[in-house]
Amino acid sequence: MARSQPYQPLLLRILHGVNLIVVLLAMVTAFWVYNIYDGRLIQLPLPNIPDMIGIHGTFGVLFLIVFPALALYSFHPGQKRLIQGDTINKLTAVGKPIWWYSLYRIINTVMLLAGTWALMTGRQMKEEWLPDGNLNETWYQLHLSAWLVLLGCLIIHVLMGLKIGGTPLIMSMFRRQYRPSDSPRLWRQKIQEFIKSRKETRQ
Ligand code: HEM
Ligand code: HEM
């Protein structure tokens, strides 16, 4: 692998990939639920699967498990790719590379907020609302908005990635090879070192 190619730490690739799969499955089943019970804006000729709410709920719970792991990674080792103290100041350099990088950091952070929004509103949903025809419940409307917010942010996140680093950056998230220094065998040691350094900084 050429040294100049973008490289993503293996742990990030795994957490990010698992989240991507779960988000996509949650969004597809979410649309299906909407299509069966609501369909006020658009309705597609999809078959009526009786337990779609249960299936969506299962992906929702899965997301609840995998998303905090990605967030934890992003807030600690991946911190540099999220919004920084000086990111907003750098937005004055409109059109310059640093401006694009700053926007990219903002959208990465917004992805975490959009995921949190979907989780928060999903947790407030009641399984019976849609089968009972309660389509005007506030939490349902808010949960619906999470679908649009996630889709919009996902599109911007990918387009911004393409703008900043083109296909090599996008593909770097999906590549299988990793550097020896990034081997899973060393993760335990790295986590221990991380916890130790946190304890030392607190003292
Ligand atoms: C068209 C948009 C959506 C509809 C109609 C919808 C529908 C529902 C329904 C009916 C429930 C209750 C299920 C239950 O309690 O078993 C639920 C829960 C949930 N949904 Fe959605 N959803 C939508 C979008 C999303 C999106 C985009 C995500 C995340 C990627 C998501 C994540 C969740 C989560 C985390 C729960 C809570 C699961 C639990 O704790 O039991 N939903 N959703
Ligand atoms: C097709 C879909 C996706 C693609 C192609 C993609 C691509 C990428 C790439 C290339 C990066 C690395 C940026 C860099 O090196 O500066 C990144 C970072 C990130 N992505 Fe995605 N992404 C996708 C979906 C998602 C989803 C669904 C989420 C959240 C649920 C997400 C959350 C994040 C976060 C939080 C970061 C920053 C990670 C860190 O702090 O280290 N992405 N994404």
Domain presence at residue 5? no
pLDDT 10s digits, 21-53: 999 999 999 999 999 999 999 999 999 999 999
Supply the pTM of this predicted model. Answer: 0.93
Ligand 2 close to Cβ of residue 103 (< 6 A) = no
Residue located nearest, by CA, to atom 31 of ligand 2:
111
Ligand 2 close to Cβ of residue 19 (< 6 A) = yes
CA distance 57 to 124: 12
Q: Indicate the pLDDT class of residue 3, thresholds 50, 70 and 90.
A: low
Domain presence at residue 37? yes
What's residue 201's pLDDT? 79
Average pLDDT of the residues in 187-200: 87
Record the tokens describing residue 180, joined without a space. Answer: 């020896």
Domain presence at residue 82? yes
Q: Indicate the pLDDT class of residue 114, thresholds 50, 70 and 90.
A: very high
Domain presence at residue 4? no
Average pLDDT of the residues in 128-137: 97
The ligand minimizing its distance to the Cα of 166 is 2
Residue located nearest, by CA, to atom 37 of ligand 2:
108
Q: What percent of the chain has pLDDT over 70?
A: 98
Record the tokens describing residue 203, joined without a space. Answer: 């003292």
Domain presence at residue 2? no
Distances (CA, A) of 86 to 91, 99, 108, 112: 9, 12, 16, 19
What residues make up the domain containing 37? 10-202
CA distance 42 to 1: 46
What's residue 1's pLDDT? 46
pLDDT 10s digits, 76-87: 999 999 999 999
Tell me how many domains the chain contains: 1
Distance 122 CA to ligand 1 centre (A): 4
What's residue 198's pLDDT? 83
Distance 36 CA to ligand 1 centre (A): 14
73 pLDDT above the threshold of 70: yes
CA distance 69 to 14: 10
CA distance 26 to 147: 9
Of 53-62, 99-108, 113-122, 183-192, the one with minimum mean pLDDT is 183-192
What CATH number is attached to the domain comprising 193?
A: 1.20.950
- Cβ-in-10-Å burial (0-12, 13-18, 19+) of 94 comes to exposed
Domain presence at residue 1? no
Domain presence at residue 146? yes
Ligand 1 close to Cβ of residue 198 (< 6 A) = no
- Site to substitute for ligand 1 among 125, 129, 151, most atoms within 8 A of C-beta: 125
